[in-house]
Structure 1
Amino acid sequence: MIFLISGTTHTDKTILAQQLLEKTGWPYLSMDHLKMGLIRSGMTDFTPQDDDKMTEFLWPILREIIKTAIENRQNLILEGCYLPFDWRKAFSEDYLRDIQDTWLVMTPEYIQTHLRDIEAHGCDIEQRMENRIDPATLIGENRKVLTGCKENGCYFILIDRSYPQDLAEQILNQIRKEER
């Protein structure tokens, strides 16, 4: 099983991946680590600020990692914001049976009400150099993700009033339900 976790910055994708690793024992790969490895190795001229170009650049690599893991019957959690909304188009039905996606999306109300909490938890797993959030930008990014998910049939979890404390367990239940 390949489990894809995506969404915008500060939606706790990495925390969710860590929790799923702890519950399942499945390894996870951070798309940010792959991005930075390619940048630091000089294999691309992109900079860490070139996020708008990263999905197109990383997707062919990520797609083939997914295929290889499925062909080798390996489980993998892949998390990050560089997943195209139309990712399903890259796979045949044989592959799609072994891939589950979840996108984390925060509502404008959640962002406005919990902005300081979002910032406070921004370094729970990874140390960010800058953790100040522009709420208007974050709201716009989450709206874009929600629209992309709806247009492409992506499974998403809407974070509205409070952040779900048992999110990893909810996702595992969803996976178990779909495996039946």
Structure 2
Amino acid sequence: MIYVISGTSRSGKTMMANKILEEKKIPYMSLDWLVMGFTNGIPEYGIHDKLFPDEIAKKFWSFLKGMCENMIWTDKDYVLEGEAVLPELISELTEKYPDRIRVCFVGYTDIDIEKKVEDVKRYSTGENDWLSNKNDEYISNHITNMVEHSKMIMKDCKDYNLKYFDTSKDFIPTLNRAIDYLFECQD
């Protein structure tokens, strides 16, 4: 089974993937790593980390789709997490392989921007965190953009019959519900 966790920046995707790794022993790959591979390794493809998430997802889709189909074919459990997925695109695979891929999206549509900025700074993973050296205004603008992106994802999930979890309130319990959803009827 391929488990895809997507959504907006700072919504809990990596936390979910790490918990699944720890509890279920299913490895994960961050799509951010792949995007940075394109950014730094083959910039001529035009896929880079300075694009908005939906732009990355659209440019990245043919590669990601081929990779997912190969992963499904190999019949190994794996988690893919990252922003570089859109409901309108991944729905193609969920329809084609309903018993081999599980997908959920996470985001936040109704948050206090200032509190989220504080949380981003408090829970930063250190110097390797790309937002760790940014000022409050930069982080606030990023979070504001991600609220709008979350609203788009939430709407698209409804349109494509995919599950969306809003982490605006009850952050950790909501992430746990999303993980439970991914593994429903599979234990």
TM-score (norm 1): 0.83
**Residue in 1 aligned with 2:151?**
143
1:55–1:82 Cα contact (<8 Å) kept? yes
**Residue in 2 aligned with 1:30?**
30
* d(CA) in 1 for partners of 2:95, 2:104: 19
Cα-to-partner distance string for 1:69-113 (whole Å, 9 max, x where unaligned): 1111111100111112121224654x22111111112132x3447
2:92 partner letter:
K
Q: CA 1:177–1:133 in structure 2 vs 1: closer, same or farther (change >3 Å)?
A: same
- Once the two structures are overlaid, the 10-residue window that deviates more, 71-80 or 41-50, is 41-50
* d(CA) in 2 for partners of 1:73, 1:64: 15
**Residue in 2 aligned with 1:88?**
91
**Residue in 2 aligned with 1:50?**
51
Q: CA deviation at 1:125?
A: 10
* d(CA) in 2 for partners of 1:3, 1:79: 8
Tell me the SS of whatever aligns to 1:177: coil
Percentage of matched positions with identical amino acids: 18
The RMSD of aligned alpha carbons is 2.5
2:156 partner letter:
G
* d(CA) in 2 for partners of 1:71, 1:46: 26
2:107 to 102, 105, 108: 105
Q: CA 1:111–1:146 in structure 2 vs 1: closer, same or farther (change >3 Å)?
A: farther
2:100 partner letter:
D
Instruction: List gaps (5 residues or longer) in structure 2.
Output: none
**Residue in 2 aligned with 1:16?**
16
**Residue in 2 aligned with 1:4?**
4
Q: CA deviation at 1:42?
A: 2.2
2:35 partner letter:
K
Q: CA deviation at 1:148?
A: 1.4
Q: CA deviation at 1:157?
A: 1.2
- Map 1:117-132 to 2 at 5 A: 117-123=119-125, 127-129=129-131, 130-131=133-134, 132=139
Q: CA deviation at 1:126?
A: 5.1
1:127 partner letter:
D
* d(CA) in 2 for partners of 1:111, 1:149: 23
Mapped pair 1:160 → 2:168: yes
TM-score (norm 2): 0.81
1:5–1:79 Cα contact (<8 Å) kept? yes
- Map 1:59-70 to 2 at 5 A: 59-70=61-72
Instruction: List gaps (5 residues or longer) in structure 1.
Output: none
Q: CA deviation at 1:136?
A: 3.1
Q: CA 1:45–1:167 in structure 2 vs 1: closer, same or farther (change >3 Å)?
A: closer
